[in-house]
Copies of this chain bind each other. A is one copy, B any other.
Amino acid sequence: MGASLALAVRGHYAHITGVARRAETAHEALARGIVDAATTSLEEGVAGADMVILATPVRTIITQLGDLAGAAKAGAIITDLGSTKSEIVRAMNRLPDSLRAVGSHPMCGKEVTGLDAADADLYRNKTWILTRSTRTDDAALAAVKTLAEHAGAVTLELDPARHDMLVAFASHLPYALAVALVTAADQAGLNDPALWQVTASGFRDTSRVAASDVTMMLDILLTNANAVTGAIRDFQFSLDQLTAMIERKDEAGLRAYLAGAATTRKAHF
């Protein structure tokens, strides 16, 4: 996400420093010209920066926000690319008064990670959600909005709780279904390995996000547990309705249910 963003906005900013966990990644990002400078030290990387963008898993972002308190210069704008916002914004609210912070969530990603997957067009035409914290002023919000627009995204402002409820349905629930589907199929495949010979495009697409980065998704589920389990319960109600109609061979009810879903799907995509 971070390398893709650097590629997407280069030319709009005078100097971009990349901070990576591993020295190889830092060297490689510099060698490929993705960034102007690279380091493995967060403190060194953010020193003097006008804007700091945290592109790590959600719970790492929360830890790093604490680290920034003493490392970022006064007036710096802090933002992030994390997929849940309530806990991140709470951590932003705890930053010193001298820092400004805006929660961000670009609605895009890949199930592959690393520099090889970096893509300057990743953000193009995607929705990029902005959430205010108590450390957000209008100029900081505008600066992060401009960042999103330089990357080609379309911004939408939401409060953190509403954001987390909506993405629980739009993003975390599909992920939960994909991993539970793959897990159930894995069990069935132990009984009859021919299962994997008959999977086709339907299974492939429905299960795609199950290959997402585990640490990223673990942090998302743990920092949005209430909204995610709520969305799962609503889904289970829908699936129970469908199952009951199949069991009692309710042809009229099933046709209406399937037609409704097909119409909704076609209306939105």
Contacts and interface: CB of A to CB of B under 8 A. Distances in A.
Nearest to A211: B265
Interface stretch (A10-18, A26-34, A143-151, A229-237): A229-237
A82 B174 CA distance: 28
A63 interface: no
Interface string A229-269: 10110111111011100110101001101111110111011
Contacts of A209: 202, 205-206
A73 interface: no
A200 B209 CA distance: 11
A173 B166 contact: no
A225 B188 CA distance: 17
Contact of A206 (B156, B178, B188, B201): B178
A239 B167 contact: no
A178 to B, nearest CB: 6
A214 B254 CA distance: 9
A177 B214 contact: no
A214 B181 contact: no
B211 A208 contact: no
A89 interface: no
A268 to B, nearest CB: 5
Contacts of A174: 181, 202-203, 205-207
A214 B262 contact: yes
Nearest to A201: B108
A157 B238 CA distance: 35
A225 B176 CA distance: 24
Contacts of A222: 246, 249, 251, 254
A218 interface: yes
Interface of A: 107-109, 126-127, 129, 156, 158, 162-163, 165-167, 169-171, 173-188, 192, 194-212, 214-215, 217-218, 221-222, 225, 228-229, 231-232, 234-239, 241-243, 246-247, 249, 251, 254-255, 257-262, 264-266, 268-269
Given A210-B264, A214-B259, A236-B236, 9 more contacts: A167-B198, A171-B200, A174-B202, A177-B181, A183-B260, A207-B265, A208-B265, A214-B255, A222-B246
